[in-house]
Amino acid sequence: MEQTFIILKPSTIQRGLVGDVLTRFQRKGLQITAMKMAQLTEAILREHYAHLIEKPFFPDLLRSMMATPVILMVLKGKDAVEVVRQMIGSTNCRKAAPGTIRGDFGMSGQENIVHASDSIDNAIIEINRFFKPEEIYDYDLLLKPATYAPDEL
């Protein structure tokens, strides 16, 4: 099973959407293997968003991501990276399809509810950036046989 990394952003915290977003991931059949709240620093955000540092919106992104603590998660499931990316929708919430997390809960390109890894390689990097190995739990879900066919396990 594949793992992916998620940040529930300050906009999710401020708007009281944590439960709604968590419920969507769990109802889909994704397993939470790690979760914690953290206040992100400028240093970790510069590392995490290194590909955006030169963009004119980067100072606003920093302010936004440090506005409140965030919730960091690792989700596990078959094709987890792709499944989560489809669930969250387009980066700009106004363009995200109805039924996606961003399409249903957001109106902004920046205040877009959730960050999710965009590839398996980035998921590994991001998980290692934010979690120690001992903070990630491997356990069996009792509903796994009702979620997956035997050949998918």
Q: Which of 115, 116, 127, 131 is catalytic?
A: 115
* CA angle, 130 then 26 then 20, to 5°: 85
Tell me, yes or no, if 115 is annotated catalytic: yes
Catalytic residues: 115
